[in-house]
Chains A and B, each alone.
Chain A
Amino acid sequence: EAQVTQNPRYLITVTGKKLTVTCSQNMNHEYMSWYRQDPGLGLRQIYYSMNVEVTDKGDVPEGYKVSRKEKRNFPLILESPSPNQTSLYFCASRHGQGPYNSPLHFGNGTRLTVT
């Protein structure tokens, strides 16, 4: 089944403790992206990747890192999480590297709480 898989689904952590949220897609998509969803703000893009070893900042990249060493994986790294990073995170992928030409497929989300 074609899908985007995020892990974990739920995570509670403390301020400053490094964490990684994994994302994997099995559709051979070039483009992958991370969003965070907050009430009243919709989905805001954190980072995106057009292909292996190519990553770029979205609208809210501060406090996050990503890597794209393999086509299928796009982990989101929080080196020193803070309470304002408490949010619902989504990974998404699509075919193509350039302008939009195919639908974004989303994972089921990771709910992160930082205390």
Chain B
Amino acid sequence: GQQLNQSPQSMFIQEGEDVSMNCTSSSIFNTWLWYKQDPGEGPVLLIALYKAGELTSNGRLTAQFGITRKDSFLNISASIPSDVGIYFCAAPWGASKIIFGSGTRLSIRP
């Protein structure tokens, strides 16, 4: 089936650092989604992208829909402790599916 390759798998950051993660596929998508999962909770939608090249922000988060439509990027500026969690990229596929990447786990370096 379709696959979204997300990297890095995990990262340790210090408070205040900027964070970058990406998602790539061999398939073309018309929509890219970024979700965040806090510990003990279900994923919550952060940003939705609908157009190639689109750059969308949500507070300190900025996501981009790649020009080739095969990738997407998420940046977090000036990270804070509550940014800890798992970030998933996702994309609708066909009439009814949404496929998810394997996630990037963000932790704070002690």
Could you tell me how many residues of chain B have their Cβ less than 8 Å away from some Cβ of chain A? 26
Q: Residue of A at shortest CB range from B105?
A: A39
- What's the nearest-Cβ distance from chain B to residue A4, in Å? 7
- CA A31 – CA B97 in complex, angstroms? 11
Q: Is the CB of B42 within 8 A of A100?
A: no
In the complex, what residue of chain A is closest to B6 when comparing beta carbons? A42
Alpha-carbon gap, A56 to B96, bound state (A)? 10
A-B contacts, CB under 8 A, total: 56
Q: Do A104 and B96 touch (CB < 8 A)? A: no
A31 to B88, CA, bound (A): 21
Chain A residue contacts of B102, Cβ below 8 A:
40-42
Contacts A31-B96, A103-B48: A108 and B42 contacting too (C-beta < 8 A)? Answer: yes
With a cutoff of 8 Å between Cβ atoms, the chain A residues found around residue B43 in the complex are 43, 90, 104, 106
CA distance A45 to B42 in the complex (A): 14
Closest A-B pairs by Cβ, 8 of them:
A106-B42, A100-B92, A42-B102, A43-B100, A42-B100, A103-B45, A106-B43, A42-B103
| Chain B contacts to A: CB under 8 angstroms | 1, 4, 6, 9, 31, 33, 40-45, 48, 88, 90, 92, 94-103
